[in-house]
Amino acid sequence: MKKIKIIFSSLVFTASLLMSTIAQADNIKIGVSFRMLSDVGYKHGMLIEDTVKMWNSQGGINGKKIDLTLYNDECKSEKGVANATKLAYQDKVHVIIGSSCSSVTLPMVPVITKAGVPQIIPHSTSSKITMTGSEYIFRVPVSSRFYKIVQGKFTAEQQGKKIAYIYVPDQASMVFAKEMMKYMKDEYGVDPVYQVQAGEKETDFRSYLMKAKAANPDVIVLSGLVDETVRMLVQSYEVGIPKSVHRVANSVASKVEVPTNAGKAAVGVVYSAAFAASDTRPIAKKFVKMVKSKYGVTPGHDFSQMQDLLDMLKPALEQVNFTGNLAADRNAVRDSIAGIRNFTGLASGPISFCAAGSPECRDGNKTPVMIEYTRGGKNWKTAVAGTVTFKPTDGL
């Protein structure tokens, strides 16, 4: 297991080992497990590190320093479970941030629920995660149950109803495609003109794309992780699917690697997300400028959601009276996060939680935005088509 552990708090003056141990016990401990494989993934980790350093330099949380432990789960479920177990029982953290991949976060839920440690999710969108009913789970990104509605409505009314679907075994990718198919059937009475689930770790999608092309679709839905999405987009043009066929991707298309690596093949791709770098709000423009300057990339919604998470977490932790009783303190952190109402940050709409361990209370962001790539490559550009805010029960 690859482990990066950073403890920013330290004793300034020389003290005995006993005093050092006591000081560490009084600190607030945050654990992280998410996908750090690409350059951008590591920069998400840097954002967390830099933010916690800033908190500590400003006096910590109510005078308490923050200990930060980062683990890389590599988007592998077994590593996510191992990380959650270690963070809960060995590192004894008060709260866990993670994971990026829904297929990792979902099996982490029973681990953190049994341990009684709250977990706040920066990126995972699968609707199944909050449907577990765990009172210890909180989601910052928009759930796939909202994405399927806004994407289905936009696709049907703006692009067409003859749709071909190609998706990979990743949990979020499957859920996005299958829920969109169901929505199209329920709302518009149409079945896919073609659908297929590709094999695990498949890299050549051209045989599927040729079959999709033969079905003469108006729209082709390409639902995968970053590498698969890029390959499917590029290969869709290689097999001769014309530009007139609309390309739709899941929210992973917001990751900067997609337009950068897909190049011209990204132009015209439409996806739902929670943030667009082309957002003209002052808070968004300031954030984009900061990320470009500090981390050398244009932020997608994964960057913005991590920032929103951190900006929500700090005041929630400030409301907690840490007693030194780990179980009680974890529950107090859980209850404080559950008390967040109408947080306004980088997301397209306000983020709110509530007390019950239900999707209505734990899917905090209910406002996806429709985005289209107008240019691909290193200097990619997007345009915002609009936003839709849903009721807490929509999509259930």
The CA–CA distances, whole Å, from 8 to 29, 52, 55, 71, 184 equal: 11, 8, 10, 16, 50
pLDDT-above-70 percentage for the chain = 93
Paired tokens of 226: 């970053």
In 3-state terms, what secondary structure has residue 215?
coil
Per-residue confidence band for 244, with pLDDT thresholds at 50, 70 and 90: very high
pLDDT (mean) for 118-131 = 95
Angle among Cα 396, 96, 201 to the nearest 5 degrees reads 70
The tokens 């689930």 sit on which residue?
197
From residue 347, alpha-carbon distances to 80, 112, 284, 344, 351 in Å are 26, 26, 9, 7, 8
pLDDT for position 109: 98
More confident residue, 14 or 87: 87
The pLDDT value recorded for residue 2 is 41
Q: Per-residue confidence at 41, pLDDT binned at 50, 70, 90?
A: confident
Average of pLDDT values for 323-342?
97
Q: Judge whether 364 and 139 are in contact, CB under 8 Å.
A: yes
Choice among 2-6, 30-34, 232-236, 357-361 with the minimum mean pLDDT:
2-6
Which of 188, 262, 261, 177 has the alpha carbon at shortest distance from 220? 177
Task: Look at residue 191 and tell me whether its pLDDT is greater than 80.
Answer: yes
| 3-141+282-287+300-365 CATH choice from 3.90.1010.10, 3.40.50.2300, 3.30.43.10, 1.10.533.10 | 3.40.50.2300
Per-residue model confidence as pLDDT tens digits over 87-118: 999 999 999 998 989 999 999 999 999 999 99
- Please give the helix or strand (H or E) that residue 166 lies within, else none: strand 163-167
Of 179-188, 270-279, 358-367, the one with minimum mean pLDDT is 270-279
What is the domain class of 145-279+369-387 according to CATH?
alpha beta
| pLDDT for position 38 | 67
**Which of the four pLDDT bands, split at 50, 70 and 90, describes residue 39?**
low
Residue 278: pLDDT band by 50, 70, 90 thresholds? confident
Helices (H), 58-142: 77-89, 102-115
Counts for the chain of helices (H) and strands (E), in that order: 13, 14
Q: Which residue has the tokens 């706040």?
A: 120
Confidence of residue 200 (pLDDT cuts 50, 70, 90): confident
Element (H, E) at 271: strand 270-273
Strands 194-197 and 163-167: parallel
Question: Which stretches of the chain are DSSP H helices?
Answer: 17-25, 39-57, 77-89, 102-115, 144-158, 171-188, 206-214, 226-238, 257-262, 282-295, 301-318, 326-338, 359-362
Average pLDDT, the chain: 90
**Please, which pLDDT band fits residue 384 given cuts at 50, 70 and 90?**
confident
Q: What does DSSP assign to residue 143?
A: P
- Helix or strand holding residue 164 (H, E): strand 163-167
Mean pLDDT of 205-213: 98
| pTM for the model | 0.75
Domain ranges in the chain with CATH number 3.40.50.2300: 3-141+282-287+300-365, 145-279+369-387
| Average pLDDT of the segment spanning 143-155 | 87
Q: Check if the beta carbon of residue 133 is closer than 8 Å to that of residue 71.
A: no
Six-digit token string for 171: 């949990």
138's enclosing H/E stretch is strand 137-142
Q: Between these two residues, 255 and 12, which has the higher pLDDT value?
A: 255
